[in-house]
Chains A and B, each alone.
Chain A
Amino acid sequence: MSEMPPFVLFFLAAILVIGIRGPVRKIILLATPVIAALHIWLNIDPNILSTYSILNIELTLLRVDKLSLIFGYLFCLAGFLATIFALQVNDIKQEVSGLIYVGSTLGAVFAGDLITLFIFWELLSVSSVVFIWARGTERAIDAGMRYLIFQILSGLFLLAGALIHYQTTGSLVFEHIGLTGIASWLIFIAFGIKCAFPFLHTWLTDSYPEATPTGAVFLSVFTTKLAIYALARGFAGEEILIYIGLTMMCFPIFFAVIENDLRKTLSYSLINQLGFMVTGIGIGTALALNGAVSHAFSHVIYKSLLFMSMGAVLYRVGHIKASDLGGLYKTMPKTTTFCIVGALSISAFPLFSGFISKSMVMTALLKEGYSYGWLLALFASAGVLHHAGIKIPYFAFFAHDSGLRPKEAPVNMLIAMGLAAAICIFIGVQPQYLYALLPWEMEYWPYDMTHVLAQLQLLIFAALAFVWMTVRGIHPPELRSTNLDVEWFYRKLLPAGAHRGLIFLSNTRDMILKNTVAAMRNSRDSFFRWHISKYHLSESWPTGSMVLWISVMLVTYLLLDIFVYK
């Protein structure tokens, strides 16, 4: 028993629920993450290795240490919350793929070698796209396809990197890799795509807003945080990650502020939060890495809380455009409250979960002498408050009254949000329990005078700025608009360029054809005046061109054989 990897439970459950309907299915869905968490807690000893032999290679399906354990617990917990939230959805596709999705994430977390990691990496991509396609709209299907292409691309990079790594080092063990040589760069890019590095991030903001209300909750948790785990294990302490992380912190803020689709705002804010974790991993000290891991932990909870509250609004109202919402607090008071808890957590107010984890990364930045980085992170923190902390609840539930009077969210959604909100506050008030789980040794306590004061000052002035801008009317208005991101390059510029290029090519071809046809016609006319023309020369084109090809090949081959190869 103790050697059974936790993903097996999920895959078994996925097979089981196909044949079962009604309440029993719901019970299985809910029980699986709980049983998996208990299994990890009670049965699995740390430092265990469980291998399975396939393709003449020993695959390590279970490698347990403190880093994989904390992520294991986190994914079970998040899977449980997301399942409660999605309980009223009766869609076998989403339920099965949800189980496979969570299961593969756990499989990847406990994977001890690169090939096992790759296998689950791919399963993750294939199973998660269902959440986007299940929405059924034209946009969702297209976005899902783009999502899938990016994810498979990431998998291919990982596979290529893993194989080259194997070829050069003779080992497939997934340990610290470090940026040396082509293999590590390929793996780095693979992780980077899943982690939404700048310029590789468009799949995220493109597809998450198109997912089903409940699907977005699942998506917001697993894929990117798995990438954070993989980076923390493979590339801790690579300096380039600090700069990537800082970029990820800052650039999405501008997009998030002007974006009208509130789930898209959350997607940008997700990248911004990933920035803090990536920076932490880049610094690479025990404090910073713990900061990244604990931030991933608290982030998963409050981000899924925010996605849940927006999902609830989408579920009740049918759209999620900031410009057309407002005043919902009157009929959805509980959702509003939970959303505000999530907003306070993401803005890192003291006593909420974001504070106790983000401050670790910030402290680490200062300690290691990245003062400019620290300033950027401060700016990003203020930005978070602005676009996620205030904008999300304000435009959805308050602002101008839109006249919408939807019903309160269903009970199961409220339970899921309530649990998530409770965890946010619990972690914020009693951080020692989370700290005890962290993989590296450190001495740290967030609640001291300077920290709390500095954070409060920052938040209050940022809030003031928002109020002032709104009162003076210079806050960017919420408009139904399309904001251009780098995906414009491959979705618009590239096709347009290719289109132009094709037109140019076909014009050229027409021109050449016209001339050659004219030339051929002339020669044919002169040929027909010759007596051979009475023989048949008719031949259907494709067959003829094939004969041409075969003679071209034969001649090339023989010439090469005679003159080049000796």
Chain B
Amino acid sequence: MQEHISLLLVVIPLITALIVAVLPRGILPWASTLVATFICVVLASMQLWEVINGGVISYELGGWKPPWGIEYRIDTLNAFVALIVSGIAAITLPYALLSAEKEIPPHQIPLFYSAFLLCFTGLLGITQTGDIFNVFVFLEISSLSSYVLISLGSKRQALTSSYQYLIMGTLGATFFLIGVGFIYSQTGTLNMADLARILPEVTELKTIHTGFAFILIGLALKLALFPLHLWLPNAYTYAPSVITVFLSATATKVAVYVVIRILFYVMPSGFMATIPIGDFFVLLGIAGIIIMSVYAIYQSNVKRLLAYSSVAQIGYMVLGIGLASTAGVTATIIHLFNHALMKGALFMAVGAIIYRIGSCRMDNIHGLGRQMPWTFGAIVIGGLSLIGVPGTAGFISKWYLVLAAIEQSAWISVAAILTGSLLAVIYVGRLIEALYFKPATESQQNLKEAPILLLAPTWVLVFANIYFGLDTELTVGVSEQAAQALKAIVK
């Protein structure tokens, strides 16, 4: 059993997805999904534990030796990302019961959970696999199921935004595949470890350069790098609340992981200096942080506001990668984790508001903070974490990112990071103003607090925000170990 963990992480949700699809309506689909995700969390934790203590795990699928067969190759980095994904899924599911009941027609509930599990399978698969074509396969599994999930949103715009995401997501995936094809044509291998071995001999070839260009631009689209983010605000705004929580905390993060894997593991060391990607990421990261934060300030829908803030936060992660130093990548990995915590908490709290009033437009939430103090508290603490106030997880990310930028005397980046948190003060402030200081309308005077089943998962994440703001052993320790293991980082 022990040695099969890496495979089980993919197989368990995949098989459960098939079972759930044929289950009758009622509580069963939810319960089986819950069990599957919880098993995955336990497995992912065990896997991380093993990798930290015992080094890289290599699992040969079907007994075929790599590089011919598919290999699952687990090091600290992807074990950590797998833990983030499954952890968030496990926290989301208790929340999903009520929220999905409210927002999704009952006859679609089994299919909803089935699609959720498929998406989960895809995301976990991306983290587990050591084969670049397999990454594409899982990327498509997760994307296709997330198109379905988004289209289940209760507003009619959900269909349009899902369709829009479908087109762009497919473009991204196609770019990725074209790139993989180019590289395969020159190296003859798809195994990432094998690629890392062969690539140094062929770095001069323009085909290789072009291949990486396609791969990276495709991934940039997947991770919603500014200005390729246009799909994200719509998708996050109109998806069912649960899906917004899950996708915002995991989907883009996994894409960021793939970028790190490609840049610092597959590519030979020193190669990154010969292609423009570092400067690209720094430049677009900075632009994304500033422009998207400003956009967030002017949104009239809370989910949209948070979605734009997500794009800005992705700017931070990409900036860390662009710095191409151990410190920068460490900061990105830390932020990967912390951002999942804060956005998860915030979107959950917003979901609780939607559960009560069926909308999350700024005009409709006036004064709700007084009626729903726990939900409001979660938004305040999540918001503080987003700003990066000391004592919250957000501060830890900001701290390491600023350190990484200063290390390379990247003053503009430092200024952008700090300006970003100043802008976050404004948009979080707007949110708090609307929720607490504006008078509530007559009809909403006697609103009840959200049910405990929604509040409990939200507050688990809120406490995680504070806990990981004070105790950084897991986040920083693991991230540093993961970044140091990436051998291609020169600086």
Interface residue? B372 (CB, 8 A): no
Interface stretch among A32-40, A146-154, A519-527? A146-154
- Distance, CA A75 to CA B292, complexed state (A): 42
Q: A167-B407, A550-B217, A553-B220 are in contact. Are A160 and B387 (CB under 8 A)?
A: no
Q: Are A149 and B213 touching (Cβ within 8 A)?
A: no
Interface stretch among A236-244, A301-309, A492-500, A539-547? A539-547
Interface stretch among B50-58, B118-126, B389-397? B389-397
Interface residue? B5 (CB, 8 A): no
Interface residues on B, range: 35 or more
Residue of B nearest to A142 (CB): B433
Interface residue? A156 (CB, 8 A): yes
Interface stretch among A266-274, A477-485, A554-562? A554-562
Q: Could you tell me which residues of chain B, from 377 to 423, have a CB within 8 Å of some CB in chain A?
A: 384, 387, 389-391, 396, 399, 402-403, 406-407, 414, 418, 421-422
Q: Are A55 and B230 touching (Cβ within 8 A)?
A: no
Interface residue? B102 (CB, 8 A): no
User: What mask results when residues 275 to 292 of chain B are scored 1 for a CB within 8 Å of chain A, else 0?
Assistant: 111001000000000000
How far, in Å, is B326 (CB) from chain A's closest CB?
14
Q: Are B168 and A156 touching (Cβ within 8 A)?
A: no
B residues less than 8 Å from A564 (CB atoms): 276
Q: A145-B429, A160-B414, A557-B217 are in contact. Are A566 and B403 (CB under 8 A)?
A: no
Interface residue? B210 (CB, 8 A): yes
Q: A163-B402, A164-B406 are in contact. Are A126 and B421 (CB under 8 A)?
A: no
Q: A145-B433, A152-B425, A553-B220 are in contact. Are A126 and B230 (CB under 8 A)?
A: no
Interface stretch among A61-69, A115-123, A458-466? A115-123
Interface residue? A141 (CB, 8 A): yes
How far, in Å, is B235 (CB) from chain A's closest CB?
12
Interface residue? A471 (CB, 8 A): no
A residues less than 8 Å from B384 (CB atoms): 126
Q: Are A549 and B476 touching (Cβ within 8 A)?
A: no
B residues less than 8 Å from A191 (CB atoms): none
Interface residue? B472 (CB, 8 A): yes
Select which of B160, B217, B230, B421 is within 8 A of A545 by beta carbon.
Answer: B230
Q: Report whether over half of chain B's contact residues are helix, strand or loop; otherwise say mixed.
A: helix
- Distance, CA A558 to CA B391, complexed state (A): 43
A residues less than 8 Å from B175 (CB atoms): 550, 554
A residues less than 8 Å from B433 (CB atoms): 141, 145
- Distance, CA A554 to CA B221, complexed state (A): 11
Select which of A145, A160, A561 is within 8 A of B402 by beta carbon.
Answer: A160
Interface residue? A361 (CB, 8 A): no
Size of chain A's interface in residues, with CB distance under 8 A?
Answer: 40
Interface residue? B167 (CB, 8 A): yes
Interface residue? A54 (CB, 8 A): yes
Q: Could you tell me which residues of chain B, from 130 to 172, have a CB within 8 Å of some CB in chain A?
A: 160, 164, 167-168, 171
Select which of A123, A141, A550 is within 8 A of B437 by beta carbon.
Answer: A141
Q: A141-B437, A560-B276 are in contact. Are A54 and B472 (CB under 8 A)?
A: yes
User: What mask results when residues 99 to 125 of chain A are scored 1 for a CB within 8 Å of chain B, else 0?
Assistant: 000000000000000000011001100
Besides A553-B228, A554-B213, A558-B210, 16 more A-B contacts (Cβ < 8 Å) are A55-B396, A55-B472, A119-B391, A136-B437, A141-B437, A145-B433, A149-B422, A156-B421, A163-B414, A167-B406, A542-B164, A543-B230, A557-B280, A558-B209, A561-B210, A565-B274
Give A contacts to B, CB under 8 Å.
54-56, 118-119, 122-123, 126, 133, 136, 141, 145, 148-149, 152-153, 156, 159-160, 163-164, 167, 540, 542-543, 545-547, 549-550, 553-554, 557-558, 560-562, 564-566
Of all A-B residue pairs in the complex, the 5 with the closest CB atoms, nearest first, are A119-B390, A560-B276, A156-B418, A546-B230, A141-B437
